[in-house]
Amino acid sequence: MRDGRIAAIGTNLEAPSGTPVESLRGELVLPGLVDAHTHLDKTLLGMPWHENTAGPALVDKIRYERRMRREWEIDAARQSARQIELSLAQGTTHILTHVDIDTENGLTCLEGVLSARDEWKDLIDIQLAAFPQSGLMSRPGTLELMREAMAMGCDWVGGLDPYAIDRDPKGHLDAIFGLAQTFGRPVDIHLHEPEEMGALTLSLIFERVRALGMNGKVTISHAFCLGSERSHIVGPLLDQLAELDIAVITTGPSGWAAPSVSQLTQAGIRVGSGNDGVRDTWKHYGDADMLSRAMFIGLRNRLCRDDEVALAFDICTLGGARIMRSADYGMSVGCAADLFVVAASGIAETVARQPVRKLVVKRGQVVARDGECIRHAR
Amino acid sequence: MRDGRIAAIGTNLEAPSGTPVESLRGELVLPGLVDAHTHLDKTLLGMPWHENTAGPALVDKIRYERRMRREWEIDAARQSARQIELSLAQGTTHILTHVDIDTENGLTCLEGVLSARDEWKDLIDIQLAAFPQSGLMSRPGTLELMREAMAMGCDWVGGLDPYAIDRDPKGHLDAIFGLAQTFGRPVDIHLHEPEEMGALTLSLIFERVRALGMNGKVTISHAFCLGSERSHIVGPLLDQLAELDIAVITTGPSGWAAPSVSQLTQAGIRVGSGNDGVRDTWKHYGDADMLSRAMFIGLRNRLCRDDEVALAFDICTLGGARIMRSADYGMSVGCAADLFVVAASGIAETVARQPVRKLVVKRGQVVARDGECIRHAR
C-alpha cells in the first residue's frame, strides 16, 4: 500500500526499506465492510441498561424514542463515537447513517453526529442522511429543519413511509425530491409500507425519478413490499427499479417480509445492507458487526451454498460501496486500501464464523487490531 | 448447593467448612440453557472447511448429507463430543438430539452419539430421538432399524414430514406411534409441511394422540404450518394442541413461516427451542449458543420489550426442560443445580449481548469457566 491505496498485489513483493510490514500467515484479506444503513445517533451502547417498555407499532416506537432521547440523555456525539469504535473494530470502513431531524430535537442530533464524524474522519468514511423520523408534512417546521440540515452538510435526503407514517405521500415525496434537487443530493427512503401500499408509493417515487432524471440517485431502504409473496406485485416493481437504477437496502429482517436479494441481484438492482439500529430504544439486539449482518441476510434468504453465502458478503461490502458511490472501493491495484484480515479459509467461513478481525486497515493505516480499535470513544 | 441440588438461596448463607465457594460480584445466576432440538451427529465443527454445493430442496439436502457423511468421514462420536463441549461452554445443561437412522448408515450414527453421551454423562443430560431423516415408509428396512434404535436406548421416537418427504402420512404416523406404544416413549415429529398440508398432517396426529391417550407425550418440531398468515388455519390447530398438551419446538427461523411464540404461549402450549443443525452439510451457520437462539426467536417474533425478551429466554430454558420432562429443573431450593453465570443487568441484556458464560454448573459441579469447558473433545 502506498498513499492510502493498494500499490501492488502478489507474492515476494519488495517494499521500500522502512515500509512497515504486517506478517500474515495464510490469513484472508477482504475488502472493508460497508454499513450502508444505520443510526449512529440513537444507539445506547455503553449506557446503563434501560428497560424497554415501548408499544408494538412503528408510531409507538417513534414516540417512545423521542421521549427517551431526552429522559435518558442520549448524547448523539458520544453515542455515535461508541458505535463507530465498535464498527471499526469489526472491519467496517464505510458508514451511511440516518440522523433524526425533528421539531423536538431540532438539529442537535445532527450536530452530534457531525462532530463525531469530524473526530473520526481519519479512520472511517461516514455519510449522513437527514432523516425525518417523526414525520415531515405531519409535523410543521420539520421541512425547514431538513433544509437547514442539508445546508449543514448532509450527504443524503432521507424520507420515511410517505403514506403510512406521514399520511401525505404526495406532499412528502415532493418535499424530499425538492430538497434533493435544491442541494444536488441523492435520496434514501425508509419504506416499511407493505404490499399494495408500498407498491403504490414506489410508483410515485418512480414518477419523480423519471421526471427529474434522478436515475442512479435514489435508494429504498427496507422495501418490505418487495418481499410480498405475490409475484404480480413484485415483478413490475423490480423491472422499474432496474430501469431507473434505484438501489435497495435490506437488513435481512427476520420478522418482516423482505426483498429476496437473489431476485434483486438477478434483476440487476444494486443491493446493500446495514445494521439499522444497534441496541437502541427500538430493540436491544444488535452488535454493529456487518459479518453477522451478512449471516442474517444469508439466513433470511436461505443462502446455503458457498457461492450463495458470497452474495450475502458482496452485499455487505461492494453492494454498500456502490450505493455510497465510493468510486475507489475494491481490492485491485489503485483502489483505496480499505480492508480487513481474518483467519478463515474463505468468504463462506468468514460469514458463518465471524472470526475476530486480526487487522483492519483504512486508507493504508491500521485502525484496529485483534478486534480492538486503535482509538477509544468516551 | 449440596448433592447436586440447590440447597439454599439467600444472602449471608453459612457454608459448611471445606465447601468450595465461588465469589460472584453482582453477577447474574440463570437456569441452565436447554437445547431441545439439535443434531449432534452431523455437525462439522472442528473439521476442515468443506464447500457446500447442495441443491435447494429439502430432499436435495437430505441426499447431499447422506453422501457427504461418507465422503467427508463425519464421525458421529467425535462430532457429537465437539458440539457438546461448545454447548457446555455456553451454558447448555440439557440437549435433545435427533440421530439419523437410515438404511445406508444403519445404526452407526446412533452408536456414535450413544458413546459420546456416555463419555459426557457426568457433565450434561442428553436425550436421543431415533430420527428417520431419509424417510421411513419410502425406504424399506428403516422401520426395522428404528425398532433396533429404540431397543438400544433412544428416548424419543422421531418422525419427519409424513406426507412431504415420506409420501405416506398414514403409514408413517402409524409406524412411529406404533413404536412409541411398543417402547413407551414420546414422539417428536419434524413438520416442515406448510399451510393446509401441515394442518392436515397435524389433524392425523391429533387423531392418534386421542386414540392412544398420548396427551403430553408428543412434540412437533418446526411446525411451519402454524406460521400461516391465515387465522382460520392456525386457530383450530392451536386449540387442539393445547387440549392434547402437544408441545411445539421452534428455532425462530428467518427464512420460513414460523409459529408465533406469543400465540402458542397464550394458548397454553408448551414451547421449547433448539439450535437445530450447527455448521453441517445443510448450512454453514450456527454457533450452538442457546442465548443467540433466544435472540433469533426474539427477532423472528418481534420481541422488543424486556418482558417479551424474557419470553424468548424462558423458551430456551424452562420451555425446553418441560419438553424433556426434567422434573427437577428450576431455580428453587431442591432443584438440580444446573445453572450459568453472566455479568449482565438482567435477562434482556443477557439475550441481547450474549455475554461470556463466567461459570456453568451442572448438578453442583463447575463444568465450564469463562467460556471454556473443563473437558475437551478430540
SS (H, E, C) A207-228: HHHHHHCCCCCEEEECCHHHHC
* Contact between A285 and B298 using a beta-carbon 8 Å cutoff: yes
- Structure confidence by residue, pLDDT tens digits, B317-343: 999 999 999 999 999 999 999 999 999
Residue A61, C-alpha cell as written in the block: 416506537
- Structure confidence by residue, pLDDT tens digits, B226-257: 999 999 999 999 999 999 999 999 999 999 99
**How many angstroms away from the CA of B192 is the closest CA of chain A?**
15
Closest among A97, A90, A34 to A315, alpha carbons compared: A34
State how far the Cα of B138 lies from the Cα of A76, in Å rounded to an integer. 61
DSSP β-bridge partners for residue A219: A188, A247
- Structure confidence by residue, pLDDT tens digits, A226-246: 999 999 999 999 999 999 999
State how far the Cα of B134 lies from the Cα of B42, in Å rounded to an integer. 14
Instruction: Name every chain A residue with its beta carbon within 8 A of the beta carbon of B51.
Output: 305-306, 348
State how far the Cα of B279 lies from the Cα of A273, in Å rounded to an integer. 24
User: Does B220 have pLDDT greater than 90?
Assistant: yes
Q: What's the confidence (pLDDT) of residue A240?
A: 98
Spell out which chain B residues touch chain A, with contact meaning CB-CB distance below 8 angstroms. Answer: 48-49, 51-54, 56, 61, 252-255, 279, 282-286, 295-296, 298-302, 304-306, 309, 345-346, 348-349, 351-352
pLDDT category, B283, cuts 50, 70, 90?
A: very high
pLDDT category, A28, cuts 50, 70, 90?
A: very high
State how far the Cα of A37 lies from the Cα of A89, in Å rounded to an integer. 18
| Dihedral in degrees, nearest 10, Cα atoms A159, A162, A168, A174 | 50
The reply to whether B17 falls in a domain is: no
Q: What's the confidence (pLDDT) of residue A15?
A: 84
- Structure confidence by residue, pLDDT tens digits, A307-337: 999 999 999 999 999 999 999 999 999 999 9
The pLDDT > 90 percentage for chain A reads 96
Q: What is the mean pLDDT of residues A243-256?
A: 97
State how far the Cα of A69 lies from the Cα of B52, in Å rounded to an integer. 46
Overall domain count for chain A: 1
User: Does B25 have pLDDT greater than 90?
Assistant: no
Q: A365: domain range? A: 28-373
Contact present, B116 and B84 (Cβ < 8 Å): yes
The reply to whether B21 falls in a domain is: no
User: Does A27 have pLDDT greater than 90?
Assistant: yes
Predicted complex: ipTM over 0.90: yes
User: Does A223 have pLDDT greater than 90?
Assistant: yes
Residue A137, C-alpha cell as written in the block: 408534512
* Contact between A304 and B52 using a beta-carbon 8 Å cutoff: yes
Under 8 Å CB pairs connecting chains A and B tally to: 87
Q: What's the confidence (pLDDT) of residue B275?
A: 98
Contact present, A73 and A42 (Cβ < 8 Å): no
Nearest CA in chain B to A300: B255
B360's enclosing H/E stretch is strand B359-362
Q: What is the mean pLDDT of residues B140-156?
A: 98
The reply to whether B16 falls in a domain is: no
State how far the Cα of B96 lies from the Cα of B222, in Å rounded to an integer. 14
Closest among A346, A347, A320, A249 to A87, alpha carbons compared: A320
Which residue from A49, A295, A299 is facing B349, i.e. has the nearest CB? A49
B157's enclosing H/E stretch is strand B156-160
CATH, residue B130: 3.20.20.140
CA angle A290, B260, A280 (to 5 degrees): 40
Instruction: Name every chain B residue with its beta carbon within 8 A of the beta carbon of A253.
Output: 299
B27's enclosing H/E stretch is none
Q: How high does pLDDT run on average in chain A? A: 97
**Helices within B135-194 (DSSP H only):** 142-151, 169-183
Q: What's the confidence (pLDDT) of residue A16?
A: 87
**How many angstroms away from the CA of B4 is the closest CA of chain A?**
33
Radius of gyration of chain A (CA): 20
State how far the Cα of A160 lies from the Cα of A163, in Å rounded to an integer. 9
Q: What's the confidence (pLDDT) of residue A4?
A: 97
Instruction: Name every chain A residue with its beta carbon within 8 A of the beta carbon of B282.
Output: 304
Q: How high does pLDDT run on average in chain B? A: 97
Q: What's the confidence (pLDDT) of residue A12?
A: 82
Q: Select from B65, B284, B300 the residue whose CB has the most chain A CBs within 10 Å, as the one to mutate to test that interface.
A: B284
Question: Distance between alpha carbon A13 and the CA centroid of its chain, in Å?
Answer: 36
User: Does A25 have pLDDT greater than 90?
Assistant: no
Question: Do β-strands A359-362 and A372-373 pair in parallel, antiparallel, or remain unpaired?
Answer: unpaired
pLDDT category, A294, cuts 50, 70, 90?
A: very high
The pLDDT > 90 percentage for chain B reads 96
Q: Select from A250, A254, A305, A342 the residue whose CB has the most chain B CBs within 10 Å, as the one to mutate to test that interface.
A: A254
Question: Distance between alpha carbon A291 and the CA centroid of its chain, in Å?
Answer: 13
Contact present, B280 and B82 (Cβ < 8 Å): no
Q: What's the confidence (pLDDT) of residue A14?
A: 85
State residue B198 phi and psi, 5-degree precision.
Answer: -65, -40
Q: What's the confidence (pLDDT) of residue A206?
A: 98
* Contact between A302 and B51 using a beta-carbon 8 Å cutoff: no
Residue B30 carries which side chain, given as an amino acid letter? Answer: L
The reply to whether B346 falls in a domain is: yes
Order across the sheet with A339-342: list the strands.
Answer: A28-31, A339-342, A359-362, A365-369, A372-373
* Contact between A305 and B254 using a beta-carbon 8 Å cutoff: no
Q: What's the confidence (pLDDT) of residue B276?
A: 98
Contact present, A132 and A159 (Cβ < 8 Å): yes
State residue B122 phi and psi, 5-degree precision.
Answer: -80, -15
The reply to whether B23 falls in a domain is: no
The reply to whether B6 falls in a domain is: no
The reply to whether B306 falls in a domain is: yes
User: Does A11 have pLDDT greater than 90?
Assistant: no
State how far the Cα of B12 lies from the Cα of A67, in Å rounded to an integer. 41
* Contact between B352 and A285 using a beta-carbon 8 Å cutoff: yes
**How many angstroms away from the CA of B140 is the closest CA of chain A?**
30
**How many angstroms away from the CA of A327 is the closest CA of chain B?**
32
SS3 state of residue A374: coil
Q: What is the mean pLDDT of residues B345-352?
A: 97
Q: What is the mean pLDDT of residues B21-40?
A: 95
CA distances from A257 to A174, A230, A254, B32, B232 (A): 27, 12, 8, 34, 21
The reply to whether B9 falls in a domain is: no
Nearest CA in chain A to B48: A345
State how far the Cα of B132 lies from the Cα of B146, in Å rounded to an integer. 7
State how far the Cα of B114 lies from the Cα of B128, in Å rounded to an integer. 8
Q: What's the confidence (pLDDT) of residue A99?
A: 98
Contact present, B198 and B222 (Cβ < 8 Å): no
- Structure confidence by residue, pLDDT tens digits, B41-91: 999 999 999 999 999 999 999 999 999 999 999 999 999 999 999 999 999
Question: Do β-strands A156-160 and A125-131 pair in parallel, antiparallel, or remain unpaired?
Answer: parallel
Q: What's the confidence (pLDDT) of residue B14?
A: 85
